[in-house]
Structure 1
Amino acid sequence: MVEPAIEEAIVEVEKRGLLPFHGLNVTKYNTNCDAIRAPVAAFHFMNDGGHAFFGPVCDYSLAAVARYAPSWDLPVVSPGGLAQDFRDKEKEYQTLTRMGMAFDSMTRFLLAAIAHYRWPKLKLLYDPDGQKEISERFCFLVASAIIKEIKTKRKDMKGDYKQLTKDSSTYAKILREDVGVKYSEKLDTWGPLFSSPEKLDAWGPLFSSPEKLDAWRPLFSSPEKLDAWGPLFQVQRSYMHGGRCFQVQRS
């Protein structure tokens, strides 16, 4: 991803004569998005007398190289670095400059939309293999960025995230145990039915005698029948990001 841009830049520099009496030598390494190969390549580059890093692009490779670069006082310029962790310019990534998009702006936009609709609680269920053509564990990086922003900067929200498994039979259990009542609530549409003493009294005849109470019992006589009432009292709406990355369970 970086190599074509570097080649075009060298052609343009030579055409404009921006660096007379200087030569530009480019050393190329393929880190394969590997956190081990990347710093090894960086050490080889240092031994060859390198002056600047352009890339890596992949977050995992970039993190490793950008942590060593300040020790060598070398700049790192990359179109990658999506994760929010790269904002740390004081302790780890002092010489890193990111030139491309990042999760920072996406997170701020998404949380602004959620705040607009007054959804104070989020549970992100993410696909571990979603968007892997972009980056390994891409959806994890997205989800962790959103939740980190909530926990560190948004006192008006609470949130958490969980990885989905490939076994879809576990989804009902996840919704029941990980989402559950903690991230859901009663529908506001029931409120008007009980909003005044007069409306409460109107319900009285339905429960005014043991016989009438008994008439209601079959509706709640088993776990299966109780589950059937669930959709009337809870709301769990899903919103997809990036096609198949994660679902937001909101209240």
Structure 2
Amino acid sequence: MAGWNQGAALPLVLMVLLVLLDLQRVAGRSPHEMQKNITLAVILPQNNTNYPWAWPRVGPALERAVRTVNADASLLPDHVLIYRFNSSEDKAGVCSESLAALMAVDLKLMYNPWAFIGPGCSYTSSPVGLFTTHWDIPMVTAGASAVAFDGGIYPSITNTGPTHKKLGKFALRICEHFGWREHVMLIFSDKKDDDRPCYFASEGLQSELESINITVEERVFEEHILPVNYSNIILSIQNGGRGESPSTQT
């Protein structure tokens, strides 16, 4: 995401916004009941650009999309599209699930938005996704990539980014291509005080591989705790990934 392209992002954001507004009309709000201002609630990390969906990265595209919609009177006749932003960062700059949930409730009570943009992190998306489902309000995010979001308890969420379930399906195709049908070794770092991206990515792989009865072994290490003995990790891949049987493959 370092090379964020506003021009490339604008059509996707614009399309999603217009679809959301159309969905709300279908949901039961007649033209006579529509408010003058159509409000989008935005919950994203405000400053921490380590997150690809942080406000400094995606905010310009959202602002440009809003300007583009409002500049064309035929898109939302007699209405103005606006947004209200709240940060999901805690004092340390990390996505906070408790803070994101509070921000969602505040935005709902203060502005009664038509849709939510974000949160981005998996842990923050979970409670907000449950709220938006209860409120029957669409939620668009590019960060809720964990396998759990593929279930039926988050019907309000539209994910515009890649998911770990898709990653798992990609791994299955690789296994099918090379004829790897017995054994896989997963190695990943797990930093439990953040959004655990490696853990959730590995979960997507493991769940899909196990779905076709491939045996999966895992090895977890904490990369931020030094020293990390990478030689032992490589040895574990060699011994555990290939298994003891000559016919077993990784």
Shorter-chain TM-score range:
0.5 to 0.7
User: Hey, what does 2:115 align to over in structure 1?
Assistant: 52
> Which secondary structure state, in structure 1, belongs to the residue aligned with residue 81 of structure 2?
coil
Q: Is the 8 A contact 2:104 2:128 kept in 1?
A: yes
More strand per residue: 2
**Aligned partner of 1:73: which letter?**
D
Shift in Å at residue 185 of structure 1?
2.8
Q: Counterparts of 1:181 and 1:77 in 2: how far apart (Å)?
A: 40
Matched, 1:6 2:65: no
Query: Which digits, 9 at most, give the CA deviation of each residue in 1:42-75, with x for residues without a partner?
Result: 0001111222101111222111200111111111
Q: Is the 8 A contact 1:123 1:179 kept in 2?
A: no
Query: Which digits, 9 at most, give the CA deviation of each residue in 1:120-145, with x for residues without a partner?
Result: 2112111225xx9xx73111111111
Matched, 1:123 2:185: yes
Map 1:1-251; keep pairs closer than 5 Å.
1=53, 2-17=58-73, 18-32=75-89, 33-48=95-110, 49-88=112-151, 90=152, 92-119=153-180, 120-128=182-190, 136-151=195-210, 153-155=211-213, 157-165=214-222, 166=225, 167-169=227-229, 172=232, 180=239, 183-187=242-246, 251=250
Q: Counterparts of 2:240 and 2:231 in 1: how far apart (Å)?
A: 16
Shift in Å at residue 173 of structure 1?
8.5
Q: Counterparts of 2:98 and 2:234 in 1: how far apart (Å)?
A: 35
Q: Is the 8 A contact 1:143 1:161 kept in 2?
A: no
Query: Which digits, 9 at most, give the CA deviation of each residue in 1:3-60, with x for residues without a partner?
Result: 2232111111122211121122311011022111111000001111222101111222
TM-score normalised according to structure 1 size:
0.64
Q: Counterparts of 1:113 and 1:173 in 2: how far apart (Å)?
A: 23
Q: Counterparts of 2:173 and 2:71 in 1: how far apart (Å)?
A: 46
> Which secondary structure state, in structure 1, belongs to the residue aligned with residue 216 of structure 2?
strand
Shift in Å at residue 105 of structure 1?
2.2
Rg comparison, structure with higher value: 1
* Unpaired runs of at least 5, structure 2: 1-52, 90-94
Structural RMSD (CA): 2.9
> Which secondary structure state, in structure 2, belongs to the residue aligned with residue 159 of structure 1?
strand
Q: Counterparts of 1:169 and 1:101 in 2: how far apart (Å)?
A: 32
Shift in Å at residue 180 of structure 1?
4.8
Compared CA separation, residues 111 and 16, structure 1 to 2 (3 A): same
Q: Counterparts of 2:240 and 2:69 in 1: how far apart (Å)?
A: 61
Q: Counterparts of 2:70 and 2:116 in 1: how far apart (Å)?
A: 20
**Aligned partner of 1:10: which letter?**
V
TM-score normalised according to structure 2 size:
0.64
**Aligned partner of 1:78: which letter?**
T
> Which secondary structure state, in structure 1, belongs to the residue aligned with residue 84 of structure 2?
coil
More helix per residue: 1
Q: Is the 8 A contact 1:124 1:143 kept in 2?
A: yes
Aligned residues: 183
> Which secondary structure state, in structure 1, belongs to the residue aligned with residue 166 of structure 2?
helix
Percent of pairs with identical residues: 23
Q: Counterparts of 1:8 and 1:182 in 2: how far apart (Å)?
A: 49
Q: Counterparts of 1:25 and 1:173 in 2: how far apart (Å)?
A: 51
Shift in Å at residue 183 of structure 1?
4.9
**Aligned partner of 1:45: which letter?**
L
Q: Counterparts of 2:83 and 2:241 in 1: how far apart (Å)?
A: 55
* Unpaired runs of at least 5, structure 1: 189-234, 236-249
